[in-house]
Amino acid sequence: MDMSRRDFLSCLPAGAMITALPLSAAAAAPRIGSQTNAWPIKPGDFPMFLRVLGELKALGFEGFETSFRNVQAQYADPAPARASLAASGLAFFGVHVFLTEYDPRTRVAPMDLVKATADGAAALGAQRVILSGAGLVRDGRVAEGDLAQKAAGLEEAARYCRGRGVGFAYHNHGPEFAAGGAEIAGLIGRTDPALVAFLVDAGWAYRAGVDLAAFFTTHRARIAGLHLRDFTGEQQVPLGQGDVDWAPLASAIRASAWDGWVMAEEERADGSKPGASAAGPARATLRKLFGR
CA–CA distance, 184 with 201 (Å, rounded to integer)? 11
Confidence category of residue 243, pLDDT binned at 50, 70, 90: very high
Is residue 18 within 8 A of residue 12, CB to CB? The reply is yes
CA–CA distance, 229 with 250 (Å, rounded to integer)? 14
DSSP code at position 12: S
Residue 17 has pLDDT above 90, yes or no: no
Is residue 112 within 8 A of residue 85, CB to CB? The reply is no
Q: Which has the higher per-residue pLDDT, 31 or 10? A: 31
Average pLDDT, the chain: 92
Residue 35 has pLDDT above 80, yes or no: yes
Residue 3 has pLDDT above 60, yes or no: no
* Count of C-beta atoms within a 10 Å radius of residue 177: 25
Among the CATH numbers 3.90.550.10, 3.30.420.40, 3.20.20.150, 3.30.70.20, which is that of 28-290? 3.20.20.150
CA–CA distance, 254 with 246 (Å, rounded to integer)? 12
CA–CA distance, 56 with 273 (Å, rounded to integer)? 15
- Residue 27's pLDDT is what? 57
For the chain, domain boundaries: 28-290
Q: Which helix (H) or strand (E) holds 149?
A: helix 144-163
Q: 282-288: long-range contacts (C-beta < 8 A, 24 or more apart)?
A: 282/34, 282/228, 282/238, 282/239, 282/240, 283/32, 283/34, 283/59, 283/60, 283/61, 284/240, 285/238, 285/239, 285/240, 285/246, 286/32, 286/228, 286/239, 286/262, 287/32, 287/60, 288/240
Q: Which helix (H) or strand (E) holds 93?
A: strand 91-97
Q: Residue 246 contacts by C-beta under 8 Å, 6 or more apart in sequence? A: 228, 230, 239, 240, 285, 289
- Residue 145's pLDDT is what? 98
Average pLDDT over residues 237-249: 97
Strand partners, 215: none
Q: What is the pLDDT of residues 114-150, one digit of tens each?
A: 999 999 999 999 999 999 999 999 999 999 999 999 9
